[in-house]
Amino acid sequence: MFHVKHCAIHSIKQRWNHAMPSPERLVILDRDGVINQDSDSYVKSLDEWLPYPSAIEAIARLCRAGWSVAVATNQSGIARGYFDIDTLDAMHRVLMRLVNQAGGQIDHIAYCPHGPDDGCKCRKPLPGLLEEIRDTLGLETLKGSWMVGDSLRDLQAGEPMGCHGALVKTGKGEKTLAKGVGLDNAVIFDDLSAFVDWLLAGGQSST
């Protein structure tokens, strides 16, 4: 009980100094391979959800600099029966808590629980998760926002929404880079922390 109460108070405090989201100051992150270690056999339990400490810190740095952060994640392991929504929620509660403890917040986590053959509109590369983030944050558009991922489909989901794309080499990123397809407009970084360094130093206007 104490624990839950503590988190609630903490998140209210966070919100007090939190800027209103704007598309030009929003970073949308893929989860697996960007925030936490990816696994070819799916991240199926809380024990298997292994965050990159530098990514948690990078999210908090973005928030402290006045950026908003959201997450868009395909989780077809749910449709495949490898884990359930409660387990996914548990992972996301820990993620939110770690980011809060580092001095940041994640405004929304949008996930697709469907499989590739379910015909849904949210599984990346489709843009449904980004539309959900746009609407949840009360934004008119995501034009000028950043979409950061380790797979081509992350960047493809952002393109029709007018997002800039950044590829990180963590997770499947090296493989995505080796394929060399569809990355003409993407900026490429070793990891999320390196992207945030660049963005907070002025991003495209600094190069």
Residues tagged active-site: 30, 32
Task: Consult the annotation and say whether 154 binds a ligand.
Answer: no
- Which run of H or E residues covers position 28? strand 26-29
Q: Kindly state the DSSP code that residue 25 receives in the 8-state scheme.
A: G
Q: Which 107-126 positions form the footprint of Zn ion (CB under 5 A)?
A: 112, 114, 120, 122-123
Q: To 10 degrees, what angle do helices 2-16 and 85-101 make?
A: 60
Does 57 contact Mg ion by CB under 5 A?
no
In single-letter form, the type of residue at position 20 comes to: M
Dist. CA 100–CA 111, nearest whole Å:
20
The torsion angle over the Cα atoms of residues 164, 169, 175 and 180, rounded to 10 degrees, is: 40
**Cis peptide leading into residue 116 (ω within 30°):** no
Question: In whole angstroms, what separates CA 67 from the centre of its chain?
Answer: 13
Pick from 28, 30, 60, 147: which binds Mg ion (CB under 5 A)?
30
Window of 51-59, 108-116, 145-153, 198-206 that interacts with Mg ion by CB under 5 A: 145-153
CB nearer Mg ion, residue 108 or residue 124: 124
Q: Which 45-104 positions form the footprint of Zn ion (CB under 5 A)?
A: none
Task: Consult the annotation and say whether 112 binds a ligand.
Answer: yes
Task: Consult the annotation and say whether 122 binds a ligand.
Answer: yes
Which is nearest to 144 in space by CA: 203, 96, 63?
Answer: 203
Window of 8-16, 23-31, 78-86, 89-97 that interacts with Mg ion by CB under 5 A: 23-31
For residues 110 and 173, the answer to whether their CB atoms sit within 8 Å is no
Window of 60-68, 104-112, 116-124, 143-151 that interacts with Mg ion by CB under 5 A: 143-151
Task: Consult the annotation and say whether 3 binds a ligand.
Answer: no
Q: Classify 47 as helix, strand or coil.
A: helix
CB nearer Mg ion, residue 99 or residue 148: 148
Pick from 33, 104, 165, 173: which binds Mg ion (CB under 5 A)?
33
Task: List, as residue ranges, the binding site for Mg(2+).
Answer: 30, 32, 150
Contacting positions for Zn ion (CB under 5 A)? 112, 114, 120, 122-123
Contacting positions for Mg ion (CB under 5 A)? 30, 32-33, 150
